[in-house]
């Protein structure tokens, strides 16, 4: 089976970059990315590729090359679905905020809407691929809807979880550790569908790195991978607190531990807590699934990863308050970095949001600088918490355009995101501009203690 037309539903952090790379690597396939969000699609189509809605190093060049050739962005969802042989679903699956499974289960309503839409408009056979992270056995629900509401066309459902990390999306897509494809490998039609997708990735990924499994293994592997990664961060963060008490240094511990080849050096960086759209959501999802099967011990085991992460964020905020003589009321604090990690403009679940919220509850005045996050996003993130009125958030939080403005006349500055540019700032100037004693809190182990103390800062860093 030769795929000529691909449609991707959802032009977000996953759908956008993934389809851009598929289009670049497979010039003979027409790739159409659709979304119901008109302004997002307009931004993807912006003549100036620097205005595409997602900031990822290297992405704008790929979009420049493929857009208009075989990569298209559109709001015409129905016609793109009908024309496609292969449909990727990469819509958002946030944690449910209501009803059964509130705060834990994934909200599948966007996925279900997609399935019903596909069933309604399709007039030819389709391979439907779940790209969003989904609870195990979602494929089955998809199949059920498609087979029972469709126009008698044949659907093959595949699971093809995306492992890209934001900030390195292009590189991760170009050189993936592995590509995982789950399908109905016991049937001929299923095998054919799996092969069609394998052939697409084989344009640039060595075949031995393309794994095929049954659908459920594929779905569960994605949740497991994210749970393990998040667990490493919580494990090292747990040690960071112990290091602070004992005089050990968490970076030295991480290095020593990571040189054990069974453990490995990556993902052992202590921080103010992990964020992003995946880790917390996927673990909560895993916890919910385990609980729904009555597996209390399994659920409790994984829930600790989240509990530790919440503790780390709170501990950092508390440290600031305690260090500033037990009160930040009326004090100005500069926040450097709002994104959940460097090289992305994504702020979902960013530790900066929670630390700021805590400091606002202690009546601090906050000034935020992030090189890629816009002011309206900062306010939207705080408003979403519903802790205080929107007017109050705007009155007490200022968003500025330079790190120097963020530090000016503050009692303390806190590094929340590990942006490279923060290393190179004119720190003596910042010290000069701050109230004394000038406190500097490094939530990312980005700065060197010695040089900062020499300037005169009262310096605190996670895990030392």
Binding residues for ligand UDX (CB under 6 A): 162-166, 226, 229, 233, 267-269, 271, 274-276, 278-279, 340-341
Where is 412: in which H helix or E strand? strand 412-415
Stretch that binds ligand ADP, among 36-44, 279-287, 359-367, 391-399 (CB under 6 A): 36-44
Name which position in 29, 59, 91, 283 contacts ligand ADP (CB under 6 A): 91
Instruction: Tell me the C-alpha distance between 287 and 302, whole Å.
Output: 6
Touching ligand ADP, residues 261-320 (CB under 6 A): 277
Residue 17 interacting entry, from ligand UDX, ligand ADP, none, C-beta within 5 to 8 Å by type: none
- Cβ(139)–Cβ(157) below 8 Å: yes
Touching ligand ADP, residues 129-168 (CB under 6 A): 132
Cβ of residue 372: shortest distance to ligand ADP, in angstroms?
A: 15
The alpha helices in 342-402, defined as continuous H runs, are 351-361, 375-385, 390-396
Cβ of residue 80: shortest distance to ligand ADP, in angstroms?
A: 10
Residue among 14 and 317 whose Cβ is closer to ligand ADP: 14
Residue 193: both structure tokens together: 């569908």
> CA torsion sign, 99 to 100 to 105 to 108?
negative
Residue 48: both structure tokens together: 């100036």
Cβ of residue 66: shortest distance to ligand ADP, in angstroms?
A: 19
Stretch that binds ligand ADP, among 89-97, 334-342, 406-414, 455-463 (CB under 6 A): 89-97
Burial 169-186 (b: 16+ CB within 10 A, else e): bbebbeebeebbbbbbee
The count of chain residues that interact with ligand ADP, using the rule CB under 6 A, is 21
Touching ligand ADP, residues 111-130 (CB under 6 A): 113-114
Q: What's the length of the chain?
A: 464
Residue among 274 and 316 whose Cβ is closer to ligand UDX: 274
Alpha-carbon separation of residue 285 from 306, 341, 347, 449 (angstroms): 12, 22, 20, 39
Name which position in 9, 284, 290, 378 contacts ligand ADP (CB under 6 A): 9
Residue 274 interacting entry, from ligand UDX, ligand ADP, none, C-beta within 5 to 8 Å by type: ligand UDX
**Cβ atoms within 10 Å, residue 325:** 10
Instruction: Tell me the C-alpha distance between 321 and 359, whole Å.
Output: 8
Give the residue from 332, 317, 355, 335 showing the smallest Cα distance to 410: 332
Residue 90 interacting entry, from ligand UDX, ligand ADP, none, C-beta within 5 to 8 Å by type: ligand ADP
What is the distance of C-alpha 141 from the center of its chain? 25
Residue 262: both structure tokens together: 């069974």
Q: For residue 175, report the phi and psi dihedrals to the nearest 5 degrees.
A: -130, 65
Cβ of residue 63: shortest distance to ligand ADP, in angstroms?
A: 16
- Residue 33 binds ligand ADP, judged by CB under 6 A: no
Name which position in 90, 234, 251, 464 contacts ligand ADP (CB under 6 A): 90
Name which position in 77, 164, 434, 446 contacts ligand ADP (CB under 6 A): 77
List of residues contacting ligand ADP (CB under 6 A): 9-15, 34-37, 40, 77, 90-92, 110, 113-114, 132, 277
């Amino acid at each position: 089976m030769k795929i000529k037309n691909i449609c991707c539903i959802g032009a977000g952090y996953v759908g956008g970059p993934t389809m851009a790379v598929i289009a670049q690597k497979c010039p003979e396939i027409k790739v159409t990315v659709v979304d119901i969000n008109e302004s997002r699609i307009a931004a993807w189509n912006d003549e100036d590729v620097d205005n595409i809605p997602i900031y990822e190093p290297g992405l704008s060049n790929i979009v420049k090359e493929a857009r208009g050739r075989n990569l298209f962005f559109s709001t015409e969802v129905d016609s793109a679905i009908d024309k496609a042989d292969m449909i990727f679903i990469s819509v958002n699956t946030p944690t449910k905020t209501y009803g059964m499974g509130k705060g834990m289960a994934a909200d599948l309503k966007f996925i279900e809407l997609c399935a019903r839409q596909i069933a309604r408009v399709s007039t030819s056979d389709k391979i439907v691929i779940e790209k969003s992270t989904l609870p195990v056995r979602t494929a089955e629900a998809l199949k059920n809807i498609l087979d029972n509401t469709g126009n008698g066309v044949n659907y093959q459902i595949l699971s093809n979880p995306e492992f890209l990390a934001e900030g390195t999306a292009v590189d991760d897509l170009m050189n993936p550790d592995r590509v995982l494809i789950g399908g109905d490998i016991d049937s001929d039609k299923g095998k054919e569908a799996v092969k069609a997708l394998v052939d697409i990735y084989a344009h640039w990924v060595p075949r031995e790195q393309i794994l095929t499994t049954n659908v459920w293994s594929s779905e569960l592997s994605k949740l497991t991978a994210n749970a393990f990664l998040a667990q490493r961060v919580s494990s090292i963060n747990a040690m960071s607190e112990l290091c602070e008490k004992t005089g050990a240094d968490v970076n030295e511990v991480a290095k020593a531990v990571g040189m054990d080849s069974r453990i490995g050096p990556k993902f052992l960086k202590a921080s103010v807590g992990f964020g992003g759209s995946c880790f917390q959501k996927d673990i909560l999802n895993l916890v919910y699934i385990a609980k729904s099967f009555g597996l209390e011990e399994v659920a409790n085991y994984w829930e600790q990863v989240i509990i530790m992460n919440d503790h780390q964020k709170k501990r950092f905020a508390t440290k600031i308050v305690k260090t500033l003589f037990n009160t930040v009321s009326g004090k100005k604090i500069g926040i450097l970095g709002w994104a959940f990690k460097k090289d992305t403009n994504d702020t979902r679940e960013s530790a900066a949001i929670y630390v700021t919220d805590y400091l606002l509850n202690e009546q601090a005045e906050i000034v935020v600088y992030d090189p890629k996050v816009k002011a309206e996003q900062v306010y939207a993130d705080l408003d979403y918490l519903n802790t205080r009125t929107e007017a109050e958030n705007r009155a007490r939080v200022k968003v500025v355009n330079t790190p120097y403005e963020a530090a000016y006349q503050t009692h303390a500055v806190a590094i929340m995101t590990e942006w490279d540019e923060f290393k190179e700032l004119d720190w003596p100037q910042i010290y000069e501009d701050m109230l004394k004693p000038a406190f500097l809190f490094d939530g990312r182990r980005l700065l060197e203690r010695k040089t900062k103390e020499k300037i005169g800062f009262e310096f605190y860093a996670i895990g030392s």
